[in-house]
Amino acid sequence: MILVSACLWGLNCRFDGQSRTNESLISSLRNIHIIPFCPEQLGGLPTPRHRAWITHGDGKDVLEGRSKVINEANNDVTAQFIKGAIETEKLATLFNIKKAYLKSNSPSCGVGKIYHSKNLVTGNGVCATMLLQKKIELISI
């Protein structure tokens, strides 16, 4: 089984209530069992919701308490992002996940690049960091 960011699979779970359906990904995984997931929803955030970003550092800094996730309404949503990562980790463990396809640049799922406000910087999202710590192969889409 493979984890796939639900927005890439066509589910309208992004902050703006939309998806980022990736037909090429769907086609390539047609005969593989996948689990679509959205860590922000698993963490209890609504859809739609305010756009959010990691204040400094990356997901590792958030998980270790050195940074926060703040939304554009200036609300601290760190706890929801951490809870979503923990719930995703439970899915990964339950289904013995070895690979995940994640939405690029996301404060949850970003691999290699995330946003600090409107600036794209090097780093991984909160959920991506948790999955990397479990030695899961991450592919950014």
| Residue span of the structural domain in which 119 resides | 2-140
What distance in Å separates the CA atoms of residue 18 and residue 80, rounded to the nearest whole number?
A: 20
Q: Could you report the per-residue pLDDT of 38-86, keeping only the tens digit for each?
A: 999 999 999 999 999 999 999 999 999 999 999 999 999 999 999 999 9
Q: With 90 as the cut, is the pLDDT of residue 117 above it?
A: no
Q: Can you give the pTM of this predicted structure? A: 0.95
Q: What is the pLDDT of residue 118?
A: 82
Task: Locate 71 and state its tokens.
Answer: 């939304």
**CA-CA distances (angstroms) from residue 104 to 19, 107, 110?**
13, 9, 5
What mean pLDDT is predicted for residues 78-103? 98
Q: How many domains does the chain have?
A: 1
